[in-house]
Amino acid sequence: MTSIVLRVAGMTCDSCEKRVESVARSIGGVYSANAESAKGKLTALLEPGADPIDVTARIGRALSVAGYPAGQDAPRPWRDGVLAAAVGTGLAAAFYALDHSGLVAFAPRQGATAAALAASGLLTSFHCVSMCGGIALSQSLRAAIGEVAQPVSGGSSRYASLKSAVAYNAGRVVGYTAIGALVGALGGALDLGQRGRSIVMFVAAAFMTFMGLRLAGVLPARRSSGRTAFGRFRDAVGAKAIGLGPFVVGLANALMPCGPLQAAQAFALASGSALAGALSMLAFSLGTVPLMLVFGAGGSLLSARFRTVAARAGGVLVLFLGLSAFGRAWALSGIRLDSSVSVSAPAAPAAGIAPSAVQTVAARGASPVVAVAKDGFQEVSFDLAPRSYSRLLVASGVPVRLTIRADSRSINGCNNAVVIPAYGVTKELAPGDNLIEFTPEATGVIPYSCWMGMIRSTIEVVEPNDPRLEARR
């Protein structure tokens, strides 16, 4: 049998390879096809008697219609890499700015705003295009390459593409929401606890970091004689769903391995509620719809270079999110690098003790709030701020009574639960005075954070004769 090799531009992932191979196999005279996105080439094995020149021309035309120009190398790969890095870094900066602006909080909790979660989905939808864009595009291009019995043209073709893209994305939204409800209910049944949430976050962070490095082109694409596990899984799901239409294909997408999606599912799991998990995933999925809808309906009009840059930029963003998730997981774990911590149970409060009014600092980076000695306790308090917890300074060996003063306006979905892993403390905050008790036995810097590790601060434990404690006497 004769084989032909074509240079193909625009392939960025396993889904693109699958799509290019499908287009090639639809051409008469092609026995088999193998696409390699890392090398930008397609190898086709021809049936006996097939004219290589004619088949090559027909494959090239079909691939051009599908948005993968044949006979072309990716233009200016070095410049495209720099552009992708710049775009991805810009997206990461936008994500960070929104997260720390106080306007939104990227945490799927009952109090989190839908706008925050949708914004998270919108920013990570570049990754969706790189991972699932080929699937979305295939649903609207089947008629264009002759995969349906009665192809349409002109305005009817554009309408059919839009209708298919809407159905596909509707399926994704329904599937994501259903998975969110199931995962949230599972989290409530398992009662993960603080250690369990940190483990889930570590796993999600590792997966996202790996996928980000792969998509950004830092790690080489894994290629073997057979398909990857992702490819085999996608093929199996796709084979069952393809005949049932784009809506069912969208539903099946909820089962696909995906870094940001699995991180969002980890958040839903940690929420411990079917309703909270469903609402979280609903808002997240709605955020991914605009870019995926545009790509699915008009992806064939987008240049191969655009898709390549979008895929790499999505990888940079996913890498940022993965590294950020590692920081949150570390905060939740309570792991320290300085000295060991000896923890004793909270001491029984003495009768008649009321919280003292002390210096309150809520701004990030401000001086620590110094504990005040009173009746055998050391008391410290601060007013809750939407995006920060105060740094604290306390003495070792003396029971601490920490009071966090909160009102309904300052409590949000990110700061509404405080965890101090070293002392086994998890405290849900409510409007009013929230009392937390613990006894620090060893000196050192104790990290504490919100329930998902996004807001972090420290408790510095010093010797009782430390000069910085003089103000409390």
pLDDT mean across residues, the chain: 73
Amino acid at 233: F
- Rounded-to-integer distance, Cα 390 and Cα 371, Å: 12
pLDDT > 90: percent of the chain: 19
Give the pLDDT confidence score for residue 393 in this predicted structure: 94
Domain map (residue ranges) of the chain: 3-65, 77-333, 343-472
| Other CB atoms within 10 A of residue 110 CB | 12
Say if residue 339's pLDDT is above 50. Answer: no
If residue 98 lies in a helix (H) or strand (E), which one and from where to where?
A: helix 77-99
pLDDT for 435: 96
Half-sphere exposure of 389 (CA within 13 A, CB side): 27
The CATH number of 3-65 is 3.30.70.100
The answer as to CATH 2.60.40.420 being correct for domain 343-472 is yes
Query: Does 430 have pLDDT greater than 50?
Result: yes
User: Mean pLDDT throughout 31-39?
Assistant: 85
Across residues 72-90, what is the average pLDDT? Answer: 65
Lowest mean pLDDT among 9-23, 117-131, 194-208, 420-434: 117-131
Quote the strand ranges of 107-259, DSSP E.
none
Contact between residue 325 and residue 263 where contact means Cβ atoms under 8 Å apart: yes
Beta bridge partners of 323: none
What whole-number distance in Å separates Cα of residue 10 and Cα of residue 40? 8
Provide the pLDDT for residue 387. 80
Give the closest residue to 267 by CA, choosing from 350, 208, 187, 381.
187
- The whole-angstrom separation of Cα 247 and Cα 254 is 12
Position 162 scores a pLDDT of 73
Whether the pLDDT of residue 349 is over 50: the answer is no
Which residues fall within 8 angstroms of residue 324, CB to CB, at 6 or more apart? none
Single-letter residue type at 61: R
Give the three-state DSSP class for 343.
strand
**Residue 446's pLDDT band (cuts 50, 70, 90):** very high
pLDDT of 220 above 70:
no
How are strands ordered across the β-sheet holding 377-383?
Answer: 343-344, 432-440, 400-406, 377-383, 372-374
> Which one has a higher pLDDT value, 250 or 3?
3
